[in-house]
Structure 1
Amino acid sequence: MYHTALPTPVAPGLEALRLPLPFALDHVNLWLLADGDGWVLVDSGFGDEDGCARWEELLAGPLAGRRFTRLICTHSHPDHMGLAGWLAGRLGVTLLTSRGEWEEGRQSWFADPADLLARKLAHYHRLGYPPERLEAMRQGGDIYRSRVSPPPDSFVPLADGDELRIGEGVWRVLTFGGHSPEHVCLWNPEANILIAGDQILPTISPVVACWPDAPESDPLRLFLDGLATLRRLPAETLVLPAHGMPFHHLRQRCDDLAEHHRRRLAAIAAACTTPATGFAIVTALFTRPLDIHQQGFAGGEILAHLNRLEADGQIRREISPAGVWTFQSAPPLP
């Protein structure tokens, strides 16, 4: 097990740094790659005051005297890019990420919080969330900006297939959709090491959801396509995930996640034998209590599966006069 906030060797020239998160998923793994006489940092951690304070402790303690050359962020979520702006300035480095993730982070930071909240409430109204749940979401507001530092004004864009020379190694950029717009993974073919971010995790499924800005998108198709791509990497690949411990069973994990979503699609299709709202399906499939934050994620995940089923012709969508979507099994083609 990694020690929180102590660099832990993983492979030659590669160290892990585990930072705490204020959620049930209580940690995020960052990665340090030796780069000549400096270090490349992969991901930044959660962007609140505690996150800044913890980094100051690290830079005054276990990481004292280290020179950093670059900051790479896998994606725009607050536990990964939350401190990118602050750290880039603090360390005097440039941020590298995909254009999709940089634009997502910038858009979320600069958007009007009142507009973000209005669009969020409209999104969950479409899914049939009852007034009391929508009011709880309203009371919670939009909290993205409380979890991130202002993003950098500039960055170096990474695209699928790019190669980065870091120290003695070459890391190939792989980008994926589904969990986030253009999630960056780094693969070192010579060492057979994959820095995976959230794209594939050892014990839990990454969130694959539809959000207010793209409610009719099909992120599950993108995610499943990404699993097929990852499955083609060598069987002995060492996977370094953002949460949990490193693992080697990449192909089996890809198969397990694909099967998980196949079962979820079947369960949701079965829940649509009569017209059902997204919220009704959330209630049917998530039997454990969910807080309001978890209910939002659950609704987004259910909608991603509904959109996949609709794209496959298995269900159809109708819109009520009040603007609420209902979903029902589509009749078989003649």
Structure 2
Amino acid sequence: MPSIDYPFATTPEHGGVLEVAPGVYWVRMPLPFVLDHINLWLLRDGDGWTLVDTGIGGGEVMAHWEALFDSVMEGRPLKRVIVTHFHPDHVGLADWLTERFGAPLYMSQAEYLTASLARNDLGPGNRAELARFFARHGLDSEREAAFVARGNTYARGVRGLPGGYIRLQAGDRIGIDGREWLLRVCRGHAPEHLTLYCPELGVLISGDQVLPRISTNVSVWHFEPEANPLRQFMDSLESFRELPGETLVLPSHGRVFRGLHTRLDEYAAHHDERLEQVLAACGEPVSACGLLERLFPRQLDLHQLMFAMGEAIAHLNYLHAEGRLVRAAGGDGVYRFVRVE
């Protein structure tokens, strides 16, 4: 199997920039998590710029942008802001950037609406409902209370949203600096996650859908408890097989790389292994929380625990939908899953 190739020996510092293709600039911004960075993409666009993703809302990232406005961007304005999906590190500064430059926001409909709900303590933003959902899947009362006490962390990472947006859909084409970028909608990590591919440059802006090393989080959440996002995610990944293997992939985390088809194979193998782990653990009834030590054998902070619970439920729901697990609620109200022999 061909290996993953990283064509750039260095990565930008936080607030730094590196040109990775003609008119395509890699911007790295800090995140306040164990995963401490996000990659954003500045595209030359005539007398201005197009930006793909914004960084998380907060003063440190804003200060980095202020420095970039006068340096790399040469005082030329943003003409539009494209956001791949609703997560705070991708949309957190959308209101500030669009207002500052009078630039429109481009998103898919489901991502814009989901962001709006989350920002207003609804849907993904309702941490009390999230905590109750995790308790139904075996989370202890102490950690359930800790989730409630955190409040709406989404709203703390997203300053606000513009009152309107321009809708992007699968198959749309956007002209940027005389080059055409093709839009693809992916599901599983987020409702309608966008990726952008430029055939002329051989470049794919993959967002969180395709990452070079870490596994993209695929979770079930309280506002869609019967969802099967792992099935959607894997189906979306397969759609990238039609792109050339030598495509330069620009991910939201990690390093720019080549080896797209190899990475797709690695994703498939990873989730096959995880599903086998889950099946092996379900010889006796077990909850999602009961799987955590087996699937994530390390100390998890509360932020990591949230994603670990969501991902464990995603693998259980996948196998349940396939008829390979049976789910039942015990006398304590907790869902447990057992293998079909």
**Structure 1 and Structure 2 fold alike (TM over 0.5):** yes
- State how far apart, in whole Å, the 1-side matches of 2:209 and 2:122 are: 29
1:285 deviates by 2.2
Kept in 1: contact 2:114–2:123 (CA 8 A): no
Alignment partner of 1:128 out of 111, 130, 138: 138
Q: Does 1:227 align with 2:198?
A: no
Residue equivalent to 2:65: 55
Q: Which of 232-241 and 301-310 deviates more?
A: 232-241
1:49 deviates by 2.6
Distance change >3 Å, CA 199–CA 57, structure 1 → 2: same
Distance change >3 Å, CA 80–CA 147, structure 1 → 2: same
Residue equivalent to 1:14: 24
TM-score (norm 1): 0.95
Q: Does 1:267 align with 2:310?
A: no
Residue equivalent to 1:141: 151
Unaligned ranges ≥5, structure 1: none
Unaligned ranges ≥5, structure 2: 1-9
- State how far apart, in whole Å, the 2-side matches of 1:266 and 1:112 are: 35
1:214 deviates by 0.9
Deviations 1:9-41 (A, max 9, x none): 111111111111111111111111111111101
TM-score (norm 2): 0.93
Any residues of structure 2 matched to 1:61-100 within 5 Å, and which?
A: 61-100=71-110
Deviations 1:227-277 (A, max 9, x none): 111122111111111111111100000000111000000000111100001
Any residues of structure 2 matched to 1:15-30 within 5 Å, and which?
A: 15-30=25-40
- State how far apart, in whole Å, the 2-side matches of 1:185 and 1:295 are: 27
Distance change >3 Å, CA 294–CA 147, structure 1 → 2: same
Q: Which of 41-50 and 2-11 deviates more?
A: 2-11
Q: Which amino acid aligns with 1:254?
A: L
1:114 deviates by 12
Distance change >3 Å, CA 71–CA 284, structure 1 → 2: same
Q: Which amino acid aligns with 2:251?
A: P
Kept in 2: contact 1:70–1:96 (CA 8 A): yes
Q: Which amino acid aligns with 1:296?
A: M
Residue equivalent to 2:210: 200
- State how far apart, in whole Å, the 2-side matches of 1:265 and 1:308 are: 9
1:190 deviates by 2.2
Kept in 1: contact 2:124–2:223 (CA 8 A): no
**SS at 2:285 equivalent:** coil
- State how far apart, in whole Å, the 2-side matches of 1:151 and 1:238 are: 31
Q: Does 1:296 align with 2:291?
A: no
- State how far apart, in whole Å, the 1-side matches of 2:21 and 2:61 are: 26
Residue equivalent to 1:3: 12
**SS at 1:306 equivalent:** helix
**SS at 1:262 equivalent:** helix
Residue equivalent to 2:324: 314
1:117 deviates by 2.2
Any residues of structure 2 matched to 1:122-271 within 5 Å, and which?
A: 122-271=132-281
Q: How many residues align?
A: 331
- State how far apart, in whole Å, the 2-side matches of 1:60 and 1:189 are: 31
Kept in 2: contact 1:113–1:142 (CA 8 A): no
Q: Which amino acid aligns with 1:17?
A: V
- State how far apart, in whole Å, the 2-side matches of 1:278 and 1:176 are: 25
- State how far apart, in whole Å, the 1-side matches of 2:155 and 2:297 are: 31
Distance change >3 Å, CA 113–CA 167, structure 1 → 2: closer
Distance change >3 Å, CA 115–CA 286, structure 1 → 2: closer
- State how far apart, in whole Å, the 1-side matches of 2:108 and 2:81 are: 12
Q: Which amino acid aligns with 1:280?
A: G
- State how far apart, in whole Å, the 2-side matches of 1:6 and 1:111 are: 34
- State how far apart, in whole Å, the 2-side matches of 1:232 and 1:262 are: 22
Q: Which amino acid aligns with 1:292?
A: L
Deviations 1:255-306 (A, max 9, x none): 0011100000000011110000111011232221111221111010000000
1:60 deviates by 4.2
- State how far apart, in whole Å, the 2-side matches of 1:192 and 1:285 are: 36
Distance change >3 Å, CA 87–CA 263, structure 1 → 2: same
Q: Which amino acid aligns with 1:3?
A: P
Q: Which amino acid aligns with 2:11?
A: Y
1:64 deviates by 4.2
Q: Which of 108-117 and 36-45 deviates more?
A: 108-117
- State how far apart, in whole Å, the 1-side matches of 2:306 and 2:340 are: 26
